[in-house]
Copies of this chain bind each other. A is one copy, B any other.
């Protein structure tokens, strides 16, 4: 809840506003999607819009902050999966987690797409993207060493694909679609011949 820029401790009032904004953003994003009005968030947080823009210079900064804990959780899942399953299944299971999560949090996918060349996000390199990429790379590497996944597949591609799938599925009424699309992708990275069903 009290995640802040590590630069220098915020002044007490600033920290309070930071938390309020984060809370409001969580609610608003959840029910209106990631495209929601920032003014509305500021209003609901009882804060001027300038304050919001000072603490979160871009919409994406805010999104990253909002999703930060849940992404951490997801990365923890990755470690857990790695421990309790074989490399191959671990990766697959985690991709499932990821898809479910991304499809569930409306608009996360969309916002993560919008180009990484976001100045203030790059130096603060503990961004969500970086964490997830690291986790994915780890799982993928082990799966590849175990021979469960084709060697040509890259972690970034896998993530991009999952991201894209979530995004696509979000906009079709069909709830099960994300699962089917993921399945297409998975069958694609699996080394074993596909079943003949």
B-binding residues in A (CB < 8 A): 113-117, 150-154, 156-158, 160-161, 163-165, 167-169, 171-174, 177, 180-181, 183-194, 196-197
Give 29 A-B contacts (CB < 8 Å), ordered by A residue: A113-B167, A113-B171, A114-B171, A115-B172, A116-B172, A150-B187, A152-B180, A152-B183, A152-B197, A153-B184, A154-B180, A156-B174, A157-B184, A160-B168, A160-B177, A161-B165, A163-B168, A164-B164, A164-B165, A164-B167, A164-B168, A184-B185, A185-B185, A186-B188, A187-B188, A187-B189, A190-B194, A191-B194, A192-B193
Q: Which 4 A-B pairs have the closest CB atoms?
A: A188-B188, A193-B193, A164-B164, A164-B168
B168, A181: Cβ atoms under 8 Å? no
